A and B are shown apart, each in its own frame.
Chain A
Amino acid sequence: MVTQNATLKSKEELMEKLRQPEVITGSEILLRSLVLEGVDCVFGYPGGAVLYIYDAMHGFSDFNHVLTRHEQGAIHAADGYARASGKVGVCIATSGPGATNLVTGIATAYMDSVPLVVITGNVISSLIGTDAFQEADITGITMPITKHSYLVRDVEDLPRIIHEAFHIANTGRKGPVLIDIPKDVSANKTLFKPVTEVSIRGYNPTVSPNKLQVDKMIKAIAEAERPLILAGGGVIYSGAHEELHEFVKKTDIPITTTLLGLGAFPSGDDLFLGMPGMHGTYTANKSIQKADLLINIGARFDDRVTGKLSGFAPHAKIIHIDIDPAEIGKNVPTDIPIVGDVKTVLQIANLQAKRAEKADAWRAELLASKAQYPFSYKDSEDELKPQWVVEMLHETTNGDAIVTTDVGQHQMWAAQFYKFNKPRSWVTSGGLGTMGFGFPSAIGAQMANPDRLVISINGDGGMQMCAQELAICAINNIPVKVVILNNQVLGMVRQWQELIYDNRYSHIDLSGSPDFVKLSEAYGVKGFRATNKEEAKAVWEEALRHPGPAVVEFVVRKEENVYPMVAQGSTIDEMIMGDAE
């Protein structure tokens, strides 16, 4: 207790000290502002245009700086940090190639509404526009994939811009904000006075919903015979999981959550139907198609969820709750639009929410369907099945880990067979589907949650897109448990080529991958391999016992497919059920 108080006091003292007006450089303004914004961890990579910033960071200890091995690693780590903590993720890169290496990560965060503040250096102001060495118009390049961006022209503007950037990133519909700082701006000095207020004309997200629309929703629930809730990532981002739970319990309406919504509602609950969409459950997809009322809470009707739009939820009255008005009616025509923060909307709705009385037969039908059509697979005693591995991960961790994934078959198996009960326990690239995301995002998630178990599930393809970040796990002792489901191919591409391209397997063979155990050990990270169930259990337990980072490669069946599957262009109830059924 004594130490904790001492820490708290020193933190306050630090903040007080940083708030004192002082003539300092742009670089020092940046660092002080980050601390004042509550940043405790920054991921980055230095270079010519950010040398003043890194010089100011020499011996600086008021936040952690993690030096990644590639800018892509830095931004995915910042993203994982943000998703797993709810705080703004921060990363720093230099100009030109450093900045452009962030593009994939910025687009990933933008698609999934993740709050990031991305700081890039640029060449000195007088050289901007001359094709100077390592110059790139990063604000121009990233305009379509940022919520907002700034090119700082005067050091005087820097405190305001940083404060605005954090405000914009983490309010309304969240998203990445880029601040591009020319080298001279980071060197110039001015009197720093912290900015604590923000006033941006033209930026006033609607938080409280229109009361009449909420009343309409309550009335629609009372009339519905086959109501269904579709909840998305917005529930988690607004911290509304408890309100959602209360809403579901009060109305007794069955619920399905999107890929990014996993963890927003306890997976073991009778009313939970699993995930819908391309690889969703039979029951979730059928229920959407049969529903007479669909309440979308913080999801954006992504095409991976809706399938063929013209045949989506054909009988349902649609209610759409979203903080971003532009999402309402974008893909699916909406009968009752409710613009507002999901948490606030549900708090208001919960005051008057009543049980959907007419839906008893519907509940019974879905409960029976759920029991009849769970996710399933044919297990094998000879080969390791990836689904079995994910089930084992779930059992050995009681479902308590933070799981990050890369993109592909393993991502879908993780979504299907690891059961999530808590928000911010599931970190995955949904919108952009970014390979290379899984492993570095786990580093960020672990930095945000030093005391939790973080498992990163990857394929052999995606793992090789950011494997170099093993170095930072090793030297910083970041105890991420990296799982590789190695099927020696680009699995999801193989699956599409098998089912849709008539077994024409074009360029999917990943032969020539490194020995992942040796690769890990070369970086100083413990490596394990398993090729059967017995080995799998043994090495996984050993990896869990190991106090530091570990890589566990599970050599799994190459031909395994993800089922159910809805082919592109089909309605979501036209599912290929696969060999398990």
Chain B
Amino acid sequence: MIKHTIAVIVNDQPGVLQRVSGLFGRRGFNIESITVGTSEEVGLSRMVIVTTGDEQTLEQITKQLYKLIDVIKVIHLSSNPIVARELALIKVSAEPAARPEIFGVVETFRAAVVDIGTHSVMVQVVGDTEKIDAMVELLKPYGIRELSRTGVTALNRGNSR
């Protein structure tokens, strides 16, 4: 199964996320991650969806999305070079003695410690999915108390669209 990243430009209407995610659900398409936010144009939102499937599935996803009246444009981002980023907040158990080690990991990954509690620290990491997976793996031995990932947002590099 190939992973695809697509951007869906939609009218910023109530219910539009339900229309899009519902379409994926009922037609048996997979959503690995979905992010929604405003776009460069007022009134339009950009959804970035990471999905898996063969070329025929991707074609059907695109065509079925275009059937939704509120869908303006579907862009297959991963057919061209992209910048894809995800953000994660990871709250790790961290007694004072363990902190230098954790800070070392954070530094190596160019992540940041954004909060410190008495028994824990919160780490913020931005990067592609693999980087965040790796970060999570490295922090696991210390004890991850809470974890929140945003899902992937992405744009094509340079002039390619």
**Which A residues from 154 to 191 make CB contacts under 8 A with B?**
168, 173
Tell whether, in the assembled complex, residue A326 and residue B67 are in contact, meaning their CB atoms are under 8 Å apart.
yes
Residue among A143, A202, A324 making CB contact with B72, cutoff 8 Å: A202
Residues of A within 8 A of B60 (CB): 326, 329-330
Q: Given A144-B22, A202-B70, A202-B72, A139–B63 Cβ distance below 8 Å?
A: no
Residue among B19, B59, B63 making CB contact with A143, cutoff 8 Å: B19
Residues of A within 8 A of B71 (CB): 202
Q: Given A140-B15, A140-B18, A147–B69 Cβ distance below 8 Å?
A: yes
Main secondary structure, interface of A, reads loop
CA A140 – CA B22 in complex, angstroms? 10
Instruction: With both chains docked as a complex, state the minimum distance between the C-beta of A149 and any C-beta of chain B, in angstroms.
Output: 8
Chain A residue, CB-CB nearest to B64: A326
Tell whether, in the assembled complex, residue B72 and residue A201 are in contact, meaning their CB atoms are under 8 Å apart.
yes
Residues of A within 8 A of B119 (CB): none
Residues of B within 8 A of A326 (CB): 60, 63-64, 66-67
Instruction: With both chains docked as a complex, state the minimum distance between the C-beta of B73 and any C-beta of chain A, in angstroms.
Output: 8
CA A287 – CA B14 in complex, angstroms? 49
Tell whether, in the assembled complex, residue B66 and residue A325 are in contact, meaning their CB atoms are under 8 Å apart.
yes
Q: Mark A317-330, 1 if CB is under 8 A from B, else 0.
A: 00000001110111
Q: Given A143-B15, A151-B14, A325–B69 Cβ distance below 8 Å?
A: no
Q: Mark A245-288, 1 if CB is under 8 A from B, else 0.
A: 00000000000000000000000000000000000000000000
Tell whether, in the assembled complex, residue A148 and residue B69 are in contact, meaning their CB atoms are under 8 Å apart.
yes
Chain B residue, CB-CB nearest to A144: B26
Residues of B within 8 A of A148 (CB): 68-69
Tell whether, in the assembled complex, residue B56 and residue A329 are in contact, meaning their CB atoms are under 8 Å apart.
yes
Instruction: With both chains docked as a complex, state the minimum distance between the C-beta of B106 and any C-beta of chain A, in angstroms.
Output: 43
Instruction: With both chains docked as a complex, state the minimum distance between the C-beta of A322 and any C-beta of chain B, in angstroms.
Output: 11
CA A140 – CA B14 in complex, angstroms? 11
Residues of B within 8 A of A202 (CB): 11, 69-73
Residues of A within 8 A of B26 (CB): 144
Residues of B within 8 A of A324 (CB): 67
Residues of B within 8 A of A133 (CB): none
Q: Mark B50-68, 1 if CB is under 8 A from A, else 0.
A: 0000001001100110111
Residues of A within 8 A of B56 (CB): 329, 333
Q: Mark A18-55, 1 if CB is under 8 A from B, else 0.
A: 00000000000000000000000000000000000000
**Which A residues from 316 to 369 make CB contacts under 8 A with B?**
324-326, 328-330, 333
Q: Mark B10-21, 1 if CB is under 8 A from A, else 0.
A: 010011001100
Main secondary structure, interface of B, reads helix
Instruction: With both chains docked as a complex, state the minimum distance between the C-beta of B40 and any C-beta of chain A, in angstroms.
Output: 15
CA A147 – CA B71 in complex, angstroms? 13
Residues of A within 8 A of B22 (CB): 143-144
Most chain A Cβ neighbours within 10 Å, of B19, B56, B69, B71: B69
**Which B residues from 68 to 86 make CB contacts under 8 A with A?**
68-73
CA A325 – CA B68 in complex, angstroms? 13
**Which A residues from 115 to 165 make CB contacts under 8 A with B?**
139-140, 143-144, 147-148, 151
Q: Mark A472-491, 1 if CB is under 8 A from B, else 0.
A: 00000000000000000000
Instruction: Tell me if A6 is interfacial: C-beta within 8 Å of chain B.
Output: no
Residues of A within 8 A of B15 (CB): 139-140, 143, 151
CA A151 – CA B70 in complex, angstroms? 14
Instruction: With both chains docked as a complex, state the minimum distance between the C-beta of A121 and any C-beta of chain B, in angstroms.
Output: 18
Tell whether, in the assembled complex, residue B11 and residue A325 are in contact, meaning their CB atoms are under 8 Å apart.
no
Residue among B14, B67, B69 making CB contact with A200, cutoff 8 Å: B69
Residues of B within 8 A of A203 (CB): 69
Instruction: With both chains docked as a complex, state the minimum distance between the C-beta of A406 and any C-beta of chain B, in angstroms.
Output: 27
Q: Given A143-B15, A143-B22, A168–B67 Cβ distance below 8 Å?
A: no
Q: Mark A511-523, 1 if CB is under 8 A from B, else 0.
A: 0000000000000
Residues of B within 8 A of A143 (CB): 15, 18-19, 22
Residues of A within 8 A of B63 (CB): 325-326, 328
Chain B residue, CB-CB nearest to A177: B69
Instruction: With both chains docked as a complex, state the minimum distance between the C-beta of A206 and any C-beta of chain B, in angstroms.
Output: 10
Instruction: With both chains docked as a complex, state the minimum distance between the C-beta of A431 and any C-beta of chain B, in angstroms.
Output: 15
Residues of A within 8 A of B59 (CB): 329
Instruction: With both chains docked as a complex, state the minimum distance between the C-beta of A263 and any C-beta of chain B, in angstroms.
Output: 27
CA A439 – CA B22 in complex, angstroms? 33
CA A168 – CA B63 in complex, angstroms? 17
Instruction: With both chains docked as a complex, state the minimum distance between the C-beta of B63 and any C-beta of chain A, in angstroms.
Output: 4
Instruction: With both chains docked as a complex, state the minimum distance between the C-beta of B64 and any C-beta of chain A, in angstroms.
Output: 5
Residues of A within 8 A of B19 (CB): 143
Residues of A within 8 A of B66 (CB): 325-326
Instruction: With both chains docked as a complex, state the minimum distance between the C-beta of A139 and any C-beta of chain B, in angstroms.
Output: 7
Residues of A within 8 A of B72 (CB): 201-202
Instruction: With both chains docked as a complex, state the minimum distance between the C-beta of B89 and any C-beta of chain A, in angstroms.
Output: 30
CA A326 – CA B71 in complex, angstroms? 14
Tell whether, in the assembled complex, residue A168 and residue B69 are in contact, meaning their CB atoms are under 8 Å apart.
yes
Residues of A within 8 A of B18 (CB): 140, 143
CA A154 – CA B56 in complex, angstroms? 42
Instruction: With both chains docked as a complex, state the minimum distance between the C-beta of B107 and any C-beta of chain A, in angstroms.
Output: 46
Contacts A139-B15, A148-B69, A202-B71 known; 19 new A-B pairs at CB < 8 A: A140-B15, A143-B15, A143-B19, A143-B22, A144-B22, A144-B26, A147-B67, A147-B69, A151-B14, A151-B15, A202-B69, A202-B72, A202-B73, A325-B63, A328-B63, A329-B56, A329-B59, A329-B60, A333-B56
Selected A-B contacts with CB under 8 Å, 13 pairs: A140-B15, A140-B18, A143-B18, A144-B22, A151-B15, A168-B69, A202-B70, A325-B63, A326-B60, A326-B63, A326-B66, A329-B59, A329-B60
**Chain A residues near B (Cβ < 8 Å):** 139-140, 143-144, 147-148, 151, 168, 173, 200-203, 324-326, 328-330, 333
